[in-house]
Amino acid sequence: MNTISLVDDKNAFLNYLSQMASVNDLSKAAIDFLIPLLNARHGSLYINNPFTEKNKLIYQTNAHKPRPMPAPKSFAILYENGQAIIPLMDDQTLLGYMVFEGLQEDQQPLPGLEIIKFTLPFLALKMKGLLDKETLEHKLRVINQHQLSYELSPDGYLVDISCALANALGYERHELIGKLPNFLNTHDNDDANAMEAQIFKKDGSQIWVKTDIVPAKDIWGDDSGRKICFQQNISREKQIEEMAIRDDLTKLYNRRFFNQVFAKQIDNAIRNHNYLAFMIIDIDNFKKYNDTYGHQEGDRVLALVAKTIASAYKRKGDYSFRLGGEEFGVICNVTHPEDAEVLANYCRNAILELAIPHTGNPDFKLVTISTGLVIIDGANLLDANEIYKTADIALYEAKSSGRNCVKVAGQEDDIELF
């Protein structure tokens, strides 16, 4: 740059500084201007890094060797070890400071001091603007890299998505922007502004997220119709929750979770006038199986029976439990009472078709199950404990009737479908 002409024309120099688009460019321009003006040999510029709160070297002339030094605490120029330290202050906030070699305190007044005093406030103001801009850009980069977020247009299309969310889902951003985000919501939720749901990744797998949705404002502060959605990956928390309500061996829901949901499901069915089926399932002569084949084989049979039960009752709203030992429970919604019997017998027959040898089950020589079934409707006035006892009595009747059958509470005959 032509330093002399700029020094002669202060406004031209300030205009020149105003065009600097980065802290580094501003630093170089200011030091190149001040070195000949101060008759100094070399110079450097530090900023007070807002992220580390430490002074950071931004620019130095080629031969300058920066040394540790105290940061200035006021507007005054500090002289130390043959250096002049000139602070850049915004009001009472230190933005940074410039260091020039070969300047002694006894040289005062410095050449061009009036120009320096005229220039420094503008330089500090420009520096603060650039630092604020870089701070904002840094924060936005951090958000983009680490925050799971996306933005929807008023008609529901994806107009932006963070790199973090795109990466978490296995996509490139350009593959998603401009499309309807069907993959982002897989479950309905009454609270659309703070919902937990599973979302699909590109490979078909799913992750659990909690989504907070906020309306985007326009420049006047009015609702723009767009929505900004912030997500948190809660897969780990859900995994821990699942571990707390799952049986270790069979992976079915455990007795603890059964106690949490049983009464609620009954109340929902009665309130909505729906049919609800509850059944208790028991493996026939299972103690004899353990005595004959050993507990390791017994655990294997428990796991196989549990898997078969879960496969039979896998519709939305179906629950399968291990209630304890060889006893299992099922809660499911049915359209007609007869459907519950059909499903129970389908499951019973599926266990029989596993063809697991069981010499201690004399009538069948295979592993079989017996089921006690209760059907709850809107007219049902029994509470959860009474319904459980009723199903248990029906199970006892199934055992007394020769096992490998379904007994429906209130009915004399069971139905067997092969």
Active site residue 326: yes
Query: Who contacts 373 (Cβ-Cβ below 8 Å, separation ≥6)?
Result: 277, 278, 279, 340, 341, 344, 391, 394, 406, 407, 408, 409
Which token pair is 394? 């029906």
**Residue 99 near residue 69 (C-beta atoms within 8 A):** yes
Residue type, 97: Y
Residue the block writes with tokens 């379904």: 406
Measured CA to CA, the distance from residue 203 to residue 182 in angstroms comes to 15
Which token pair is 385? 């404990």
Given the DSSP bridges, would you call strands 43-48 and 55-60 parallel, antiparallel or unpaired? antiparallel
Catalytic option among 326, 341, 353, 386: 326
227 forms bridges with which residues in the sheet? 152, 215
**DSSP code string of 36-76:** HHHT-S-EEEEEE-TTTSSEEEEEE-TT------PPP-SSS
Give Cα separations from 62 to 32, 41, 42, 43, 376 (angstroms). 12, 11, 8, 9, 87
Any idea which residues carry the catalytic annotation? 326
